[in-house]
Structure 1
């Protein structure tokens, strides 16, 4: 061994939170070869410069990157290529976070709708609400059940584009007190 500071496989395992088994596996497949292996006892030693590779391996593994892909990245030995690859992974993660946040919102809306439906059932099926800030999408339709279904499909499609899902459908009536009549506006 030369004068560099070497870390035993056990020290690396503790410092970088990687199992010894994983380090041995990385060595056996040529992904991360120790800086020095004692020829007498086979003990593996690493330098601090190799820690960055372990960090990259861990991040890639958490991002479901195969060992083969990681080896290909290391084989290129191109810092710009690695930075670009990590930026792509970062974008993918942000997209996934957005999808999960949207799913979380949809679940909360659905839970609220279910709770509201339960309350309506307890009140003989009626629910009267006043909304302060509420937006409605409207779409003209022709009479007939099939045309109404097509209109619902178009509205659902538009809501999907806007990434807004409410899961709430209902009836909107206009009450004309002076003539004692209610007119259905929306189903």
Structure 2
């Protein structure tokens, strides 16, 4: 038997060569996924053949593809060409979807970083400016929230519904829309509807709404939250009067920098977008 051992790998050697732990190999032994070629009856040392080295390599590759242990066990059971092709094709599709999701995550993160890094280049706080937006799309359940606690729950529902990749990174798309009451001074909560802008117009949803292209009066401002009047809104009202404009659609309040980015309330930044047309 000593001569046989010379042609085998110890559990430590195999683990080192394949860059796995010896405990992983012991686990695979226990579940029958890869059993040692020989176990010394006196020492209980495990020894593996070069064929098992190759099998372990296949197992590692399948794990990297995302196959579960049970799927890998099935892969090695009654194998044939068609079965292997079917399993690998299925997991290739899963891998492609994972890549798509990661690419989307990268796009969201890039956009978020671009915005945050360029905050200093934004128009000054509490300064009204005109902006023309293209057609946009939002997801909304159409139900007024009625306060910070309620709209927090509403945003959670929206994000869960969309199954977004990184909603926590997408705070500059989250907000509410309401009517002209948002521009009238009050200390009360102004009933508004939570919404989430989406980039992909191809999203099929009964809750998707189209926001028509048009001219908006916009302003960045500091505030504690949505559905609240801010004294700076007086500047919007003055601008409307001076330039003979009137509100012609839902008014949006959008978080640009919120608690997902900073714990400092002085850094919170919101934007109001008021659609307008000539009187």
Report the TM-score, using the length of structure 1 for normalisation.
0.63
Q: Secondary structure at the match of 2:47?
A: strand
Structure 1: gaps of 5 or more residues: 163-168, 174-179
Residue equivalent to 2:13: 11
Residue equivalent to 2:67: 65
Alpha-carbon separation, structure 1, partners of 2:213 and 2:121:
15
Offset of residue 14 of structure 1: 0.5
Pick aligned residue for 2:201 from 151, 159, 165: 159
Structure 2: gaps of 5 or more residues: 138-177, 180-191, 205-211, 217-242, 250-274
Offset of residue 6 of structure 1: 1.5
Q: 1:103 to 1:87 in 2, by over 3 A?
A: same
Deviations 1:42-79 (A, max 9, x none): 22111222223212322333455332222122122324
Q: 1:42 to 1:158 in 2, by over 3 A?
A: closer
Q: Secondary structure at the match of 1:172?
A: strand
Q: Is the 8 A contact 1:36 1:44 kept in 2?
A: yes
Query: Are 1:83 and 2:85 an aligned pair?
Result: yes
Query: Are 1:41 and 2:21 an aligned pair?
Result: no
Residue equivalent to 1:172: 215
Residue equivalent to 1:137: 135
Q: Is the 8 A contact 1:120 1:127 kept in 2?
A: no
Q: CA RMSD in A?
A: 4.0
Residue equivalent to 1:31: 33
Q: Is the 8 A contact 1:5 1:47 kept in 2?
A: yes
Q: Secondary structure at the match of 1:51?
A: helix
Q: Secondary structure at the match of 1:45?
A: strand
Q: Which has the higher helix share?
A: 1
Offset of residue 40 of structure 1: 2.7
Report the TM-score, using the length of structure 2 for normalisation.
0.45
Deviations 1:2-52 (A, max 9, x none): 768311111101000111111111112111011222223222111222223
Q: Secondary structure at the match of 1:75?
A: coil
Alpha-carbon separation, structure 1, partners of 2:71 and 2:121:
54
Q: Is the 8 A contact 1:172 1:184 kept in 2?
A: no
Q: Is the 8 A contact 1:26 1:33 kept in 2?
A: yes
Residue equivalent to 2:270: none
